[in-house]
Amino acid sequence: MTMGIKPRKRASGALGWGAASGAMAALVAVLGAVLGAALAPPAAAGEADDLARVARVLEHMPLIDGHNDLPWELRVRFKGRLSGIDLAADTSKIAPPPGEAALMSDIPRLRAGRVGGQFWSVWVPYDLKGPEAVELTIEQIDLVKRMAAKYPADFEMAYTAADVRRIHHAGRIAALIGIEGGHQIDHSLGVLRQMYALGARYMTLTHMRNTEWADSATEAPAHHGLTAFGVEVVREMNRLGMLVDLSHVSPETMRSALAVSEAPVIFSHSSARALVDHPRDVPDDILRLVAKNGGVVMVNFYSAYISAARNQWDADRAAETARYSSPPSGGLYIGQPERAKAALDRWDSEHPRPVATLAQVADHIEHVREVAGIDHVGLGSDFDGIPDAPQGLENVARFPALLAELMHRGWSNGEVAQLAGENVLRVMAGAEQTAFRLRGLAPSEAALESAPPP
């Protein structure tokens, strides 16, 4: 009911017909408004309708998430031993390590989130180099395959777009593998080919640091894009049918890879830089190049990438941390951890951390759509690789709420289906078709020190 409508004071003297008629019309209008508000369906009913539409869409179209870091969390928290955790139960109830978030993924919540395909990241730390990084990557690939084997009613390994559709149709979740960093192939095309043979279907060209052949978004440029060997890496990925992932790389590397790649590329977990000026997000000029390439930007859910206020808060807090203690010689309380911690605790209490929201993620999705087009946007949550998630998108069970928000904003069922999975399936199929076209080429024998110029 509309509240706060005050009755008018009655004017002195008799009312003429025109005045009475006007007063009656006004009264009818007010009563109509009140009655209409009373009879209107509650907001919850509208949300339920949108969720029902989402459910219908996802019956036919697999929701594919471009990035989830659960495999690394399983390694760190359970030493990679699946006997130590039941993924068929609610893992959020497992006490996390101090300072860490509770797990965001498990089978019941994947089912509740209507996830139909999941790219599992087989990331290893970027400070690992050489054979150690390769070995650990293979172990993480093995972990993903063991997950699928342990829960065959829920997971099945997928290697093609057709596999994903078939597995979804069978009522299971397609398990896909993504390598998150070029350091994981030890600058060897032979290792790259064997990673593909083991099941990896995308590789992020860098992580947080540059490789010897490509610049990261979060380190000072060393190459200003791709080196000659980096160009050969992209070409060999095209030949294999492995998706080139440009999340984490610098804008110069993005442009270099887009200029070279014959297949559609992906950003497996990146948001829109026009909304939040974070180097992990994608500038508008790159979004337009992605549209020309036919690729897809899968929007990240990390709070600092989707909330400008949170991004600023993180930077301010990092500065405060450095002000209090910057080993080996800087900071007000260097060598005094208790005083440094107390000072930072005071700052935290005076500067509450901004809360990012589901609606802000929807804003990034809509921006990518506006600039690149509806054919070039997808979902790349980064769940279990982020310290916290937006309000309303706390874990993998919450995907339908995001899609319902977009429906509430006017998205059609077909547009939501494109976002959820059709776009990335098209890109996967495009990479497969490029590999088929290039099947007559011999495997590249380029090496880091002898790669030919582009």
What's the CA gap between 249 and 243, in Å, rounded? 15
User: Are 186 and 133 within 8 A, CB to CB?
Assistant: yes
CATH architecture under which domain 51-305+359-437 falls: Alpha-Beta Barrel (3.20)
pLDDT tens, residue by residue, 111-148: 999 999 999 999 999 999 999 999 999 999 999 999 99
pLDDT at 348 over 90: yes
Q: Please give the pLDDT value at position 452.
A: 52
The catalytic residues are: 67, 69, 180, 207, 248, 269, 382
Average pLDDT of 264-287?
A: 98
pLDDT at 262 over 70: yes
* CA separation, residue 109 to residues 81, 82, 104, 198, 263 (Å): 21, 18, 8, 28, 33
pLDDT at 5 over 90: no
328 preceded by a cis bond (ω within 30 of 0) = yes
pLDDT at 407 over 90: yes
Average pLDDT of 45-61?
A: 92
CA 147 to chain centre: 22
User: Are 205 and 246 within 8 A, CB to CB?
Assistant: yes
Q: What is the four-CA torsion angle of 108, 174, 238, 282, rounded to 10 degrees?
A: -30
User: Are 420 and 403 within 8 A, CB to CB?
Assistant: yes
Average pLDDT of 74-86?
A: 97
Domain ranges of the chain: 51-305+359-437, 308-355
Confidence (pTM): 0.88
**If you average pLDDT over every residue of the chain, what do you get?**
91
Q: Please give the pLDDT value at position 239.
A: 98
Average pLDDT of 424-439?
A: 98
β partners of residue 299? 379
